[in-house]
Amino acid sequence: MNWLAVTNATELAIETIRAHKLRALLTVIGIVIGTGTIIGVAAILTGFDSSMTSIFRSFGPNSIIVFKFQAGFRTSRPTPEERARKDLVYQNVLDIREKCDACEQVSPLMFPPSPNYSIQARYKGNDMYNINLLGVDESYAQEGQVDIHAGRFFTEEENRRSAPVAVIGADLEKGLYANVNPIGKPITVDGQQFEVIGTMNRPAASFFGQDDLRVLLPYFTFRKHYPAAHDLAIVVNAKDRMLPRALDEVRVILRIDRHVPYSKPDNFGISTADQMVSDFRQITAMVALVMVVLSSVGLLVGGIGVMNIMLVSVTERTKEIGVRKAIGARRSDIILQFLLEAVVLTAMGGFLGIVFGWIISLIARLIFTSLPASVPLWAAVLGIVVSAGTGLFFGIWPASKAARLDPVEALRYE
């Protein structure tokens, strides 16, 4: 077997496929669907991973998020022990500020007692819903979480005296104050009126399709209007190259504050951006595995279809095989001819599958404009390799059957 034989067999395979275009297309539909689904899922998951990684890392490489549960994605519901945990309190924020030498900024992050979807914002008859209402203090802006577009952020004095002021997000400004300068104007949030003192630019990273509907209130203003609120998170910004030390110090301070015995585990969660990215990727890895398994059903069906059509082809070309053997073709030449025909057929199906997957990623980008879905090179290469491998595997039996034909009997076949 040499390259000339491979080249001739490939050309013969292509000519055979050209002669039966419709049959070839119907044969590889399963390959196209299976490969295209894998490529499309890989493109969407790659874009989703990029988007979510940017969101988590927008907190900053030195950021620590503390909550009574572990922040980020999780695959199980909170345990009874977790549900029984006490909430973090503002005194924890003060203690970390005072005692953590490796911490540069510490800010509370208070959430409303009711789900965000029930909160409404209004200005002069213009209403917007699904408001993301948060209570923070002045240090929150210094941690890089706020990019002021117009006006200013609230001050420590305004926070201390519970001033009724607010800083709003870009889409909220656009929706409520179109062609109007919102600075100094009132905004009614959940029935409470505040003065807009600043607006923010959209975050560089956000969940795809999510509008910037943030309303930031001073922490004590938030507590004044929502005394029943209890979900408090703490955002800590460690000093440069001191993240491990800051993690240890925050953990020790909170264990002392919350009276955790030495032999007991933490009754709070501490996460960093990298940890949340790692947790998220564990989930997407499982999703990707499930999708690959489901998509493999299409490849299996396509492979069986290829094997079936190749068996039919062997039967149809029995006399041709007899002629080739009579003029000196070896068994290896016949096997190579039919194997290459199956491989070329499924490789073409794989190429069409890549195009199909690219169309899926394009549609995803059109629907979710902020989702950077794109077909990764490794997925395209893997699609071609897997589809060609499918043809190789399912083409072995028909090729062997063709090679075992007796030339005399084959020449007599009608």
* pLDDT at 4 exceeding the cut of 70: no
Q: State yes or no: pLDDT of 395 exceeds 60.
A: yes
Residue 116: what pLDDT? 53
Angle at 357 between CA 355 and CA 360, to 5 degrees: 115
Note the pLDDT of residue 115: 56
Percent of the chain having pLDDT more than 90?
14
- Give yes or no for a contact between 147 and 155, defined as CB atoms under 8 angstroms apart: no
Question: What average pLDDT does the segment 296-319 reach?
Answer: 75
CB 232 within 8 A of CB 87: yes
Bin 232: left if φ > 0, else alpha if -120 < ψ < 50, else beta: beta
pLDDT at 239: 86
The pLDDT of 320-342, averaged and rounded, is 72
Give the chain's end-to-end CA distance (angstroms, integer). 30
Six-digit token string for 51:
């988007």
The band of 193, judged by pLDDT with boundaries at 50, 70 and 90, is very high
Res. 57 pLDDT band, cuts 50 70 90: low
Question: What band does 202 get if pLDDT is binned at 50, 70 and 90?
Answer: confident
Per-domain boundaries in the chain? 3-54+279-411, 112-230
Q: Which residue has the higher pLDDT, 132 or 56?
A: 132
Residue 205 has pLDDT above 60, yes or no: no
> What value does the mean pLDDT take over residues 280-293?
76
Among the listed residues 204, 209, 185, the one whose alpha carbon sits nearest the alpha carbon of residue 196? 185
Confidence check: pLDDT of 405 > 90: no
DSSP 369-408: TT------HHHHHHHHHHHHHHHHHHTHHHHHHHHTS-HH
Condensed to tens digits (0 to 9), the pLDDT of residues 135-178 reads 998 888 876 678 888 899 999 999 999 999 999 988 888 888 88
Position 209 scores a pLDDT of: 52
Residue 199: which pLDDT band, with cuts at 50, 70 and 90? very high
Q: What is the pLDDT of residues 88-120, one digit of tens each?
A: 889 999 999 999 998 888 889 898 886 555 788
Give Cβ neighbours of residue 178 (< 8 Å, ≥ 6 apart): 126
Please state the rounded mean pLDDT for residues 283-302. 76
- Distance, CA of 112 to CA of 236 (rounded, Å): 20
In the structure, what pLDDT confidence band is assigned to residue 334 with cuts at 50, 70 and 90? confident
Q: How confident is the model at residue 283 (pLDDT cuts 50, 70, 90)?
A: confident
What CA–CA distance (Å, rounded) separates 291 from 154?
Answer: 48
Nearest to 71 by CA among 204, 244, 213, 234: 234
Is a pLDDT exceeding 70 seen at residue 321? no
Bigger pLDDT: 25 vs 235: 235
